[in-house]
Amino acid sequence: MIYNAPVKDMVFLIDEWIGIDRVTSLPGYEDMDRETLEFILEEAGKFCSSELLPINRQGDEHGATLVEGVVKAPPGFKQAYQAYTEGGWTGIDADPQYGGQGLPKLVQFQVDEMLSSCNLAFKLYSELSHGAYHAILANASKELCDRYVPNMVAGTWSGSMCLTEPHCGTDLGLLTTRAIPVGEGSYKISGTKIFITSGDHDLAENIIHLVLARLDGAPSGPHGISLFLVPRSLVNEDGSLGERNGVSTGSIEHKMGIRGSATCVLNFDDAIGYLVGEENRGLSAMFTMMNIERITVGVQGLGFAEIAHQNALNYANERLQGKAPGERPDPGKTADPIIFHPEIRRQLMKIRCQVEGARALAVFAGFHADVAARATDSELSERANDTLALLTPVIKSYLSDLGMSSTLSAQQVFGGHGYISEHGMEQLVRDCRITLIYEGTNEIQAIDLVTRKLTMKGGDLIKGFLSYWERFLETEGKTDSLAACLDPTRAAFQRLSEATGWIRNELQTDQARAMGAATDYQRLFALTTVACLWTHIIQSIADKQGALYDSKRKTARFFMDHVLPETAALHRVVTQGGASLADFDDEDFHTG
């Protein structure tokens, strides 16, 4: 497989569209400039393509293994992990006081995309550490932060997130893992957790598990859950590693994809843990981590779509099949590269226009995450945080759906060669599939968007978001360069506004009908938002000439013509499809 990091597009979006000056105006980011940004992204791209892509296939073929209770990562992963930590890639956006580089989150998201493109199984060994770091830093005592965070930032120790149990997945209120206080701020944790990504491995010296558990006498349901930090090995007063804690690996899962990543069943048997945050407030503390991971999972899907497109495009330029319609590149040859066939071009451009729009959405979210965390104006910070909260389920679902559809389309371009393992396309399909499932399935994201995000702050989140884009679309004049974007985007936006009103009304009278339309509404929301971003991008380059800008204008127009029309069908399904769904009674699902 091939991979060339899309640094040029990333730098364009951050520097020329968002504006690098808007990033450097935030406290702590003053030293960031275009040259520094470009250097970091180019180095990340080189590392991913030279170190991680070559071991991706062998990670899939060999997989992680469990031998006599010890989990071992696939061959080559240990050496790559050492180079990864030595390069400082585990602490890109981490606080410098704990050894991090303190770079913007929007830079972190771009590196996340590259890592996901080249080797998601490898990335997962440090990805949960990143989320655990943020959860600990936001909720734990200074003592716990000082003791555990520096080694996590350095990658010497890694982290995991332990939520799911054999009898409960998304419904965490059903969990039964117990925590018993034993004095001096410590607890004994007992229970079993499943589907634990990087729950055990031999890449890091220690693993810091964040475990949801219930104290005796705690309220039932989700309001009685606490969060605990449980190290695989205990840590001595001097910071050295002590004896093994009461944490063991029961098994590792045999999976469809990401086989190089160890997904573990973990048994906690009177394991010593430490409370993170307040008692019975563990779920809100864990969601500090979950919300970051949901955006990151969306970016994983974007990474898959990017590398799938690159390889399909490369193959289409090399594969000779049939004679192209119209003017042929070389009439003397018996067959032409399949890139000259309109259907192949359509498939490739449908991936590309969505990838570039999705990357803009990731950059947009990353910038708002940085503003929310760093802006000195509290009102500005709150608005950015609201936007990020609203977009989180949309980003997770739309970008992961895009990864799946793109890997399948790219595999189709390869034909029969895409179905065999030689070209790596079937592995992309298998590896990408999990992104639609973990960190809350995309259906859960849709329900979260409809039932929670549209109603937060009395509906102010969605009102503010729609008002912002309505003002932009109304005030922007229809210049020649914008004509191909503005009218279709305005039409899609009108559909989204009407569907949003319909959903909010149904929530008051028939919640089941609103939830039945959630997935289609979520996609309508995503496509319309990306159309707004494309229009904003084209507006920002209205006076610029050159190959890059001409390509952007052509790609935006293709999105408007070939992807955005789907919003008309989605609007109809959302607003009119509820009756036929409600017609089915329980017994209808047990007949036939």
The model's pLDDT over 538-581, given as tens digits with 9 standing for 90+, comes to 999 999 999 999 999 999 999 999 999 999 999 999 999 988 99
Residue 472 domain boundaries: 453-582
| In a shared domain, residues 99 and 130 | yes
Q: Is residue 444 part of a domain?
A: no
Q: Is residue 367 part of a domain?
A: no
| In a shared domain, residues 130 and 176 | no
Residue 6 CA to its chain's centroid (Å):
17
Q: Is residue 421 part of a domain?
A: no
Is the model's pLDDT at 386 over the cut of 80? yes
Q: Which residue has the higher pLDDT, 265 or 585?
A: 265
> Could you give the CA distance from residue 372 to residue 386 in angstroms, rounded to a whole number?
9
| In a shared domain, residues 127 and 200 | no
Q: What is the CATH number of the domain that holds 86?
A: 1.10.540.10
Give the number of other Cβ atoms within 10 Å of residue 185's Cβ: 11
| In a shared domain, residues 527 and 572 | yes
| In a shared domain, residues 120 and 164 | no
Q: Is residue 326 part of a domain?
A: no
Whole-angstrom Cα Rg for the chain: 24
Of the residues 240, 257, 286, which one is the last residue of a structural domain? 286
The model's pLDDT over 230-253, given as tens digits with 9 standing for 90+, comes to 999 999 999 999 999 999 999 999
Q: Residue 477: pLDDT band by 50, 70, 90 thresholds?
A: low
DSSP secondary structure string for all residues of 345-410: HHHHHHHHHHHHHHHHHHHHHHHHHHHHHH-S-HHHHHHHHHHHHHHHHHHHHHHHHHHHHHHHHH
Segment 91-120 shows an average pLDDT of 97
Catalytic residue, from 306, 439, 476, 506: name it. Answer: 439
Q: Residue 184: pLDDT band by 50, 70, 90 thresholds?
A: confident
Is the model's pLDDT at 136 over the cut of 90? yes
Q: Is residue 507 part of a domain?
A: yes
Which pLDDT value is given to residue 91?
A: 96
Q: What is the CATH number of the domain that holds 268?
A: 2.40.110.20
Q: Is residue 330 part of a domain?
A: no
CA atoms in the 13 A half-sphere facing the CB of 252: 24
Which pLDDT value is given to residue 360?
A: 98
Structure tokens at 367: 């910038």
* Domains held by the chain: number: 3
| In a shared domain, residues 524 and 575 | yes
Give the number of other Cβ atoms within 10 Å of residue 361's Cβ: 23
Which residue, 343, 379, 341, 386, is CA-closest to 365? 386
The model's pLDDT over 305-343, given as tens digits with 9 standing for 90+, comes to 999 999 999 999 999 999 999 888 888 899 999 999 999
Q: Residue 588: pLDDT band by 50, 70, 90 thresholds?
A: confident
| In a shared domain, residues 179 and 126 | no
Is the model's pLDDT at 42 over the cut of 70? yes
The model's pLDDT over 396-431, given as tens digits with 9 standing for 90+, comes to 999 999 999 999 999 999 999 999 999 999 999 999
> Could you give the CA distance from residue 210 to residue 229 in angstroms, rounded to a whole number?
5
Segment 501-523 shows an average pLDDT of 96
Is the model's pLDDT at 3 over the cut of 70? yes
Asked about 279 being catalytic, the answer comes back as: no
| In a shared domain, residues 194 and 111 | no
| In a shared domain, residues 40 and 160 | no
The angle at the Cα of 302, spanning 298 to 306, to the nearest 5 degrees, equals: 170
The secondary structure element, H or E, covering residue 291 is helix 282-318
